[in-house]
Structure 1
Amino acid sequence: MIEKTLKVAVAVPCQLGESPVWDDRQQCLHYVDILNSLIYSYYPADKSVKTTEVSHAVGAIVPQQDGTFLAALSTGIHHINLPHGEAKFLIQPEPHAPENRFNDGKADASGRLWVATMNMQEQKNKGALYVVYPDLTFKKILDETTISNGLDWDESEGIFYHVESDDAIINRYTYDTVQVGIANRQKVATFTKEEGVPDGMTLDVEGMLWVAHFGGGCVTRRDPETGEVLAKIELPVKQITSCVFGGKNMNDLYITTAAKGLSEDELSQQPQAGYTFVLEDLPYQGRKPNKFVQIA
C-alpha cells in the first residue's frame, strides 16, 4: 500500500499525454500531447509550465547529452531545443509509410535511441521498433508490431522490456548491448479487460516495473519475475498513459493521462482527464534518464 497523496502537477488537459521524461539538468518534467503536437515542460520548484508547439504529431522526446532533445515527430526524428522549439530534421526510418507516426522512444545506456512506430488508425502489424545509432544510422529491431509502448531496460540483468498494447502484454527479452539485438521473448504479464491496457512503463532501481493501465485507471508496480502486483495507485481518471520518476531524489512519480475518445458524459465524470499527476517522496526511487549521444 502506498500511503502518499496523489496531487495534480499540471491541470492542463491533454488529448493524449505521453512520453514523460525527467530533465535532471533543469529539474523539470517534459512530456508531450501527441495529438495536439505540443511539448510541455513543468518546473515543480515554482509550478510553472512552458509549452512548445511543434509542426506535427509528436510521439516521444528523448534527452541528449548536450542538454537538447530529440523529438520523434510523425515526419521523422528531429533535434529540438526546449522550450524554444526550433526543430531540425535528422532522419526518417519510414519514408515509405506516411500513414505511420512515432509512439514511444527512449535512449539505452549506450546512448542509442530506441523508437517505435505505429499506424495512425491503429491498424494491426503496421509498426516497427528501430534503434538509431549516434551516427544516425538505424536498424529494425522488431517488425509487424501494432502499438509499442513501455520500452525500458534492466542493464544489470541484460533484459529489455517491451509492451505490446494491442495484445495487452508485457514482454521481456534478453538484450545484447554489443550486437544491439534482442532475443528469447518471454511474457511478463497479460492484462485482462478489467485491468485495462498496459501502456507506458518505467523501472525503479530495484528492477520492478511501474506500468500505466490505459482504461484501468491505475498504475501498478510489478515484479517482472513473477508478474505479481506489488503496489497499486488509483487515479480519478481512467486513461493512464505513462509514468516516470523525477525530483531531486528521483522518488517523485509523475503520471500522464489522456482525454482522447471520451464522451461528454465520461468527461463530466472525469473532469481531470488529460491532467498530469504526481506522487511525491515515495519510498521507491527511479533512475535518471539515459541520454542520446549524437556524433553526426
Structure 2
Amino acid sequence: MSRTDGSRHGFGRHAHPIRPADRRPEPGLATVEMINAEVAHAAEAGLGEGCVWSPVEDLLVWVDINGKAVHRFDHVSGQPVGLWRYPETVGNAAIRAGGGLALGLGASVTLTDQVGAIETVIQLPGEPETNRANDGAVDPRGRLFQGTMSNTEPGSPVAGLHRVDGDGTARRVLSDVMISNGIGWSPDQSTMYYIDTLTFRVDQFDYDPDTGEIEGRRPFVTFDGSAGAPDGMTVDADGCLWVAMFGGSGVQRFSPSGEQLETVVTPGAPQTTCCCFGGPDLDTLYITTAADSIAGVETEGESNSGALFAADVDAAGLPTNLFAG
C-alpha cells in the first residue's frame, strides 16, 4: 500500500496512514461476526494477488506480482500443482473460455495457452511506460476489465481502467486512477463495483451488460483507514461484497445495502490482498496475502504473510466469468 514518502513499494503522497486492524468492528457498526481463515498453502508470496477459480481445470489460480509468477492450487489435495514464471510482473489472472489464461502482464493483457505459453499480447491504450497491470475481472458477458497503477510512483493519479472485448479491442473507460483494484458485478448484472484503493472507498456504477458501458459513479462503502485499505474484492450469490483489507488482516463482508456483516481474519498476515470463492460448490473463500513489507505495513514476525488462506463461510460465490478472447 503506501508510504507517505513516495517510496518504491508505497502509495506515495496521496496515501492515508494504514494501521493494522485490531480485530474490532468499525466505529458505529453493529457487532460484526468474526471468522478465522486457515492457511491452505504456506507460499510466502512477495505480493500474492489476483485469485480466481478455474471451472475449466477445477483448481484455483492466483499470482505473485513481485515474484512474476502464476500459482495453481488443487483444492482436493491441498497442494500446489504448478508454477508458471514470466519476465514481467503479473498483476492478475482471468480464465479464458477456450482454455488458458488472460494475464495482466507488465502493462499489457497477455493471453496464454493451457500450459502458460504466451499466444497474444494486447496493449492497453494511453498507459505510460512506467505503469503496470494491477487487478482485473471478467464481466458476465466475457469482457475483461483490466486496471493499472504506476510502477514507479504508486498512488499517482496516472493509471486507468480498461475494457478488453473478446476480439482483443481495448478501450480505456476510466482515467486519473491511483491504484486500480477490485472489480465485481451484482447478481442481476445491473451494478459494477470498483475499488481505486487510495479513495478508501468501494464505488458502484450503473452497468449495461449488453454494451459493457458504466455510468453514474457513486460511493457504496467508505473506509476511514483504521482497518486497512480496500484492495481486491468478490461478490457472492446473495449480492454481498467481500473486500480484502490491505493492512487489515482480513476480508470484510458487506450486505447489498452496505452494512458490514462479518470479517474473515487472516491470522499472522496483515497484508490481505484479494479473495474469491472456489471449490466445486463455490463455498470456500480463498484469500491471498503479501510477505513483502508494503506501505509501511510491517510483516516481520507475521509468520503467515504471503500465504494462501481458505475459510469455510456461510455463503457461495457466483460462477466464474470466462474471458471470451
Shorter-chain TM-score bucket reads over 0.9
Provide the TM-score with structure 2 as the length reference. Answer: 0.84
Q: 5+ residue gaps in structure 2?
A: 1-31
2:49 matched to which residue of 1? Answer: 18
Aligned position for 1:253: 285
Answer whether contact 1:90 1:136 (CA < 8 A) is retained.
no
Match of 1:130 in 2: 162
Matched, 1:88 2:119: yes
Q: Which residue of structure 2 aligns with residue 180 of structure 1?
A: 212
Give the C-alpha shift of residue 37 in structure 1. 0.3
2:66 and 2:249 map into 1 onto residues whose CA distance is 21
Matches within 5 A, 1:272-291: 272-280=304-312, 282-291=313-322
Aligned twin of 2:102: 70
Say which structure, 1 or 2, has more relative contact order (CA 8 Å, 6+ apart): 2
Give 1:259 deviation, angstroms.
Answer: 1.6
State the AA in 2 paired with 1:175: Y
How is 1:133-148 mapped onto 2 (pairs within 5 angstroms)?
A: 133-148=165-180
Q: Distance in 2 between matches of 1:254 and 1:53?
A: 22
Tell me if the contact between 1:76 and 1:89 (Cα under 8 Å) persists in the aligned partners: no
Matched, 1:115 2:128: no
Q: Which residue of 2 aligns with 1:193?
A: 225
Tell me what 1:27 maps to.
58
Helix, strand or coil at the partner of 1:25: coil
Q: Any idea what SS the aligned residue of 2:239 has? A: coil
- SS for the counterpart of 1:166 is helix
Residue pair 1:151, 1:161 contacting (<8 A) in 2 also? yes
Counterpart residue number, 1:270: 302
Q: Identity over aligned residues, as a percent?
A: 30
Which residue number in structure 2 is paired with residue 44 of structure 1?
A: 75
Taking structure 1 as reference, are residues 273 and 96 closer, same or farther at Cα in structure 2, changes over 3 Å only?
Answer: closer
- Cα deviation code 1:165-206 (max 9, x no counterpart): 011110001012233211111111111121110000000000
| Distance in 2 of aligned mates of 1:12 and 1:138 | 33
**Aligned partner (choices 212, 218, 235) of residue 244 of structure 2:** 212
After the TM superposition, which of the residue ranges 111-120 and 171-180 deviates more from structure 2? 171-180
Distance 1:291 1:240, change over 3 A: same
Moved more, 253-262 or 107-116: 253-262
Cα shift at 1:123: 4.0
SS in structure 2 at match of 1:269:
coil
In the TM superposition, structure 1's runs of 4+ consecutive aligned residues that sit over 3 Å from their partners are 1-5, 265-268
1:79: how far off?
A: 1.3
Mapped partners of 1:288, 1:60: distance in 2: 18
Give the Å deviation of 1:96. Answer: 5.3
Is the 8 Å Cα contact of residues 90 and 105 (structure 2) preserved in structure 1?
yes
Kindly state the Cα deviation for residue 100 of structure 1 after the two structures are TM-superposed: 0.5
* 1:242 partner SS: strand
Counterpart-to-counterpart distance in 1, 2:155 and 2:146: 18
Cα distance change on mapping 1:71 and 1:188 into 2, 3 Å: same
1:223 to 250, 255, 280: 255
In structure 2, C-alpha distance between the alignment counterparts of 1:146 and 1:133, rounded to whole Å: 23
Structure 1 residues without counterparts, runs of 5 or longer: none
1-side partners of 2:104 and 2:47: how far apart? 15
- What is the DSSP-based 3-state SS (H/G/I as helix, E as strand, rest coil) of the residue aligned with 1:224? coil
- The residue type paired with residue 144 of structure 1 is D
| 1:103 counterpart residue number | 134
Q: Does the Cα contact within 8 Å between 1:37 and 1:55 map onto a contact in 2?
A: yes
Task: Supply the AA of the counterpart residue of 1:80.
Answer: T
Q: Deviations over 1:227-277 (max 9, x none)?
A: 2111111221211001100011110000000122269x9434201101010
Q: Which residue of 2 aligns with 1:163?
A: 195
8 Å CA contact 2:107–2:127 kept in 1: the answer is no
Alignment-mate amino acid for residue 190 of structure 1? T
Count of matched residue positions in the alignment of Structure 1 and Structure 2:
290
